[in-house]
């Protein structure tokens, strides 16, 4: 009998990981956890953001609610790999002509690069059951044609698994190994989206070789953005991390940067992203941290064209490289810099008024927009800030002097009272006599009035005490 060649004979198509597909809606929000298992009691994920809808000419709040039954739990990072593998199987088998796909777990495991063992077979079964049971609730977040719609569905309608894949038979005519076929059927909503070619090309081989789940998630999300032709993108750091990558919402900005660092470095080392320093990668605009990414031209990152500082300033604010270069060439640097300064001020103080920030910035440069009435130039704001700081310094010094004087008065009062405690009645009487003898005419008149005599005499005696028992001597 001829020697079996399982890989060549069992696979009914030739996988092409470099030419796979990724459905565009699935790239937008995470469908799964970044971890290998869900925390106890966690059976739902929620993501939300706000985008500009051209068809409605207004901003739309999008959200995705992912829910899972307790038995199977939420999808994990490995389940995302399986999902992309199923999409690739469908594309290679019949280009999404039919919703039902026949396959063997052997070929799916082979495609994913997993070990051919019972654990992998069971993991595929678990993943298929999970995708069958998970519900996706898209609210104004599922893209259909040119608008955002709401849809509630599971990605897979049904799964038929043949548990006897290890029972091989040989076709007598072709001498090929046959395995019983399993099958799954895509949900109508997802299947129709793929039929409308609402997908992008995915380098599935590159995706699988990435080491961390965060790097894979980052790659899919950015790859969709770069697919628009714009090679530089900037995002609000928290919205990017929480809503599109799926990091824990308890993280502060410093922790987010720490968690993103290995994934970003991996994509930089693979030549996918242009390397940036921490200061270049993260920019604070007003009170908000922003993160930016630039697509490398290929594996050789050094092949990136030189970017002028003014072009980079525009690109960091969402303007494409080509448009940034055109604007910088058509308008003088001072005019562009002036509009960037006004744009930054609006983003800090009235961001909600800008429905399409990058578009507004471009038009403000082209149309030489006048700044808002309340706007102050950076120089004016710096001068105002300097005056404010100077006033704070003066007020602080005045407060310090006041506090110092109060402390001196309190110390003097404490000293006088301490001396009074030590004086005998006779000594205190002598001080009173000396004080009245030294009193000036105005003080003598106050002493003659019963209402003021006690207070005036006490003040005069206190003065005598300070003269005869100075504080410096007392402290020695």
Domain ranges of the chain: 6-207, 210-304, 380-475
Question: What confidence score (pLDDT) does residue 474 get?
Answer: 45
More confident residue, 80 or 179: 80
Question: What confidence score (pLDDT) does residue 54 get?
Answer: 66
Q: Which of 242, 46, 216 lies closest to 136, judged by CA?
A: 46
Residue 177 has pLDDT above 60, yes or no: no
Q: Which pLDDT band, with edges at 50, 70 and 90, does 472 fall under?
A: low
Burial 158-177 (b: 16+ CB within 10 A, else e): eeebeeebeeeeeeeeeebb
pTM for the structure as a whole: 0.62
Q: Which tens digit of pLDDT belongs to each residue from 305-341?
A: 445 677 888 887 888 877 888 887 778 788 888 889 8
More confident residue, 83 or 93: 83
Residue 3 has pLDDT above 70, yes or no: no
Residue 208 has pLDDT above 90, yes or no: yes
Q: Which tens digit of pLDDT belongs to each residue from 393-449?
A: 888 888 888 888 899 889 888 998 898 888 888 888 888 888 888 888 888 888 888
Q: Which tens digit of pLDDT belongs to each residue from 284-309?
A: 888 889 999 999 875 433 333 445 67
- Report whether 21 contacts 45 (CB < 8 A): no
Q: Which pLDDT band, with edges at 50, 70 and 90, does 63 fall under?
A: very high
DSSP assignment letter at 38: P
Residue 211 has pLDDT above 70, yes or no: yes
Across residues 363-387, what is the average pLDDT? 85
Question: What confidence score (pLDDT) does residue 135 get?
Answer: 97
Helix (H) or strand (E) holding 381: helix 378-422
Choose the weakest-confidence range: 67-71, 137-141, 223-227, 354-358.
354-358
Q: Which pLDDT band, with edges at 50, 70 and 90, does 263 fall under?
A: very high
25: which 2 tokens? 């809606």
Question: What confidence score (pLDDT) does residue 38 get?
Answer: 82
Across residues 152-162, what is the average pLDDT? 95
Alpha-carbon Rg for the chain in angstroms: 38
How many C-alpha atoms does 277 have within 13 Å on its Cβ side?
A: 2
- Report whether 273 contacts 232 (CB < 8 A): no
Q: Which pLDDT band, with edges at 50, 70 and 90, does 276 fall under?
A: very high
Choose the weakest-confidence range: 88-92, 167-171, 214-218.
167-171
Q: Which of 188, 125, 117, 197 lies closest to 157, judged by CA?
A: 188
Q: Which pLDDT band, with edges at 50, 70 and 90, does 154 fall under?
A: very high
What is the overall mean pLDDT for the chain?
A: 85
Please name the residues in contact with 309: beta carbons below 8 A apart, sequence gap of 6 or more.
Answer: none
Choose the weakest-confidence range: 9-23, 150-164, 293-307.
293-307
Question: What confidence score (pLDDT) does residue 126 get?
Answer: 96
Dihedral angle over CA of 171, 176, 180, 184, nearest 10: -130
Across residues 46-71, what is the average pLDDT? 87
d(CA 416, CA 435): 15
How many C-alpha atoms does 456 have within 13 Å on its Cβ side?
A: 17
Burial label for 398, CB within 10 Å (0-12, 13-18, 19+), is exposed
User: In the CATH scheme, what is the code of domain 210-304?
Assistant: 1.10.10
Residue 9 has pLDDT above 80, yes or no: no
Across residues 123-151, what is the average pLDDT? 94
Q: Output phi, psi for 103, to 5 deg.
A: -160, 175
């Amino acid at each position: 009998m001829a020697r079996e060649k399982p890989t060549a004979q069992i696979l009914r198509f030739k996988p092409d990981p470099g030419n796979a597909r990724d459905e565009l809606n699935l790239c937008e929000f995470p469908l799964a956890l970044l971890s290998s298992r869900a925390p106890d009691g966690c059976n739902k994920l929620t993501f939300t953001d706000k985008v500009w809808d051209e068809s409605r000419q207004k901003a739309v709040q999008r959200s995705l609610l992912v829910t899972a039954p307790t038995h199977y739990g939420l999808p994990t990072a490995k389940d995302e790999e399986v999902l992309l593998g199923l999409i690739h199987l469908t594309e290679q088998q019949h280009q999404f002509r039919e919703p039902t796909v026949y396959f063997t777990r052997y070929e799916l495991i082979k495609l994913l690069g997993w070990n051919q063992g019972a654990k992998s077979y069971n993991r595929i079964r678990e993943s298929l059951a999970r995708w069958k049971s998970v519900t996706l609730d898209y609210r104004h977040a599922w893209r259909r044609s040119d608008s955002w719609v709401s849809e509630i569905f599971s990605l897979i309608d049904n799964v038929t698994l043949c548990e006897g894949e290890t029972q091989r038979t040989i076709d007598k005519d072709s001498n090929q190994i046959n395995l019983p076929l399993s099958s799954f059927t895509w949900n109508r909503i997802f299947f129709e989206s793929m039929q409308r070619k609402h997908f992008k090309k995915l380098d599935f081989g590159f995706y699988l070789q990435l080491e961390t789940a965060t790097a894979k998630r980052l790659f899919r999300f950015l790859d969709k953005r770069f697919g628009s032709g714009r090679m530089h993108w900037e995002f609000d750091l928290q919205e990017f991390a929480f809503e599109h990558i799926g990091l824990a919402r308890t993280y502060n900005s410093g922790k987010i940067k720490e968690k993103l660092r290995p994934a970003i470095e991996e994509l930089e080392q693979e030549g996918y992203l242009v390397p940036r320093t921490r200061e270049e990668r993260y920019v604070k605009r007003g009170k908000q941290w922003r993160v930016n990414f630039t697509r490398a031209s290929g594996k050789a990152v050094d092949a990136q064209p030189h970017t002028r500082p003014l072009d980079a300033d525009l690109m960091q604010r969402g303007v494409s490289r080509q448009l940034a270069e055109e604007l910088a060439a058509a308008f003088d640097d001072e005019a562009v810099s002036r509009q960037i300064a006004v744009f930054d001020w609006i983003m800090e103080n009235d961001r909600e008024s800008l429905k399409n920030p990058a578009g507004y910035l471009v038009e403000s440069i082209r149309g030489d927009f006048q700044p808002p009435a309340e706007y102050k130039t950076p120089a004016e704001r710096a001068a105002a800030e300097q005056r404010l700081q100077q006033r704070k310094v003066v007020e602080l010094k005045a407060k310090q002097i006041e506090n110092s004087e109060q402390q001196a008065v309190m110390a003097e009062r404490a000293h006088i009272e301490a001396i009074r405690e030590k004086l005998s009645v006779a000594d205190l009487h002598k001080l009173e006599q000396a004080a009245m003898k030294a009193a000036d005419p105005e003080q003598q008149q106050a002493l003659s009035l019963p209402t003021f005599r006690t207070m005036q005499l006490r003040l005069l005696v206190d003065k005598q005490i300070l003269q005869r028992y100075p504080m410096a001597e007392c402290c020695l």
